Amino acid sequence: MNMTEQALMKLRCGLLACTVALAPAATALAQDAAAGARSSAAAPSSAPSQQRGAGPGIGYERTVPVITSGPWTGKRLPDGQPDISGDWSNTIANHNNTTDPQGGIPGDPHERPPRTTREQRAPSRVTDPADGQLPYLPWARAKQIEFAKGFFDASKPEYLEPLARCAPAGIPKSFYWHGYEIRQYPGYIVFLFNSGARIIHLNNPKHLSPDIKLWQGDSRGHWEGNTLVVDVGNLNSKARFGRTAEFTTENVHVVERFIFDGSNQRYNYVATFTDPAAFSRPFTITVPARRWTVADKTNEWHYEVPLANNPGKPPIGDHLERICVENNGGFGRLPAAPATVPTAAPDPAARPTAAR
């Protein structure tokens, strides 16, 4: 085991140890952060247009900035990587709705409908096709509708939002399910999400055996100027895109582009999905993100990082692992008989004969 692998192993083990040792402190800090969030908003200063959502003190933007690929002009790490480490969060909305991110969950019996018109809200996360809709094949569209209808009455295990069982959020939802931290090591980039972790292997394009399927897939990346390009395979496709139940199959292939702006304060996540088993053509998801630092106030969504207790020293964020409790609120109703098998990816072979 080389030094980089040892560091990654310590990171994994350290997160678990800190969770156990610091649980009482984490509770107190979380309460303090929640109180602070209620008293002050933490919206991005450059937001051209914002609306509230996802909890007290949370601001969201209604537009997506244009960031183009080009040379990297910022700081580099000793191994030559552009330095993108730190805390980030999406600027549009949470995972309630994929194609109308600020429109709430269709058919939600617990929420009021949005007070704005569609034109007043942020655009669809689907940026290609131009109509903002996913180009499902008929069988897959029917299955997505079925999943969405079952969300609030989960009479079958597959109707459950997998996050209700503390499963990883997967791709692309991890990028709009709370804020997250990026760490960098020689040959690797690590994303520490609110619902798990993901490792991107750099300059090592060989994927795992196709028989191996993972919640976050197998990620192989390289840098092209200011753009991190990642090829993702081996997805188990058990995760959903949002509470509107969009999905892919295990046949999906994803190419991600993380395009950072010149200030290193913003980036756009642009991911193209190819899955001919469920879609008539490739489609692209775009998620804008901004950096968060200790200069920002903590809140209940974008930046859940209280200050560490280090008197007399510069402030640093104290990252605590989120403890997930199965059947958290907002994920629909669990079946009376708990499922013993994890949610399975939709099977194209099970589609109706008419849709074959």
Q: What is the pLDDT of residues 42-59, one digit of tens each?
A: 333 343 344 433 333 457
- The pLDDT of residue 111 is above 90: no
pLDDT of 11 above 90: no
Query: Sign of torsion, CA 165 171 172 177?
Result: positive
The predicted structure's pLDDT at residue 31: 40
Contacts of 97 (CB under 8 A, 6+ apart): 103, 104, 105, 106, 242, 243, 244
Instruction: Answer whether 126's CB lies under 8 Å from 220's CB.
Output: no
CB 189 within 8 A of CB 228: yes
Mean pLDDT across 192-214: 95
| Confidence at residue 53, expressed as pLDDT on a 0 to 100 scale | 39
Q: State the chain's mean pLDDT as an integer.
A: 82
Reported as a single tens digit per residue, the pLDDT across 81-110 is 999 999 999 999 999 999 999 999 988 888
Mean pLDDT value of segment 111-133? 93
Helices (H), the chain: 3-21, 23-39, 138-150
Q: Report the length, in residues, of the chain.
A: 356
Percent of the chain with pLDDT over 70: 76
pLDDT tens per residue across span 215-263: 999 999 999 999 999 999 999 999 999 999 999 999 999 999 999 999 9
Q: What is the mean pLDDT of residues 305-319?
A: 91
> Nearest-CA neighbor of 253 among 273, 239, 279?
273
Least confident of 93-97, 176-180, 326-330, 352-356: 352-356
Between helix 23-39 and helix 3-21 the angle, nearest 10°, is 80
Question: What average pLDDT does range 333-353 have in this prediction?
Answer: 53
For residues 296-320, give the mean pLDDT.
91
Instruction: Give the total number of structural domains in the chain.
Output: 1
pLDDT at position 30 is 38
The reported pLDDT for the residue numbered 35 is 36
Tens of pLDDT, residues 257-280: 999 999 999 999 999 999 999 999
The pLDDT value given to residue 48: 38
pLDDT band with cut points at 50, 70 and 90 for residue 329: low
Which comes out higher in pLDDT, residue 27 or 347? 347
Residue 112: DSSP 8-state: P
- What pLDDT shows up at residue 278? 98
Of the listed ranges 146-160, 208-222, 269-283, the one predicted with least confidence:
146-160
Residue 156 phi/psi, 5-degree rounding, is -130, 150
Owning domain of residue 111: 3-355
pTM for the whole thing?
A: 0.80
pLDDT at 327: 57
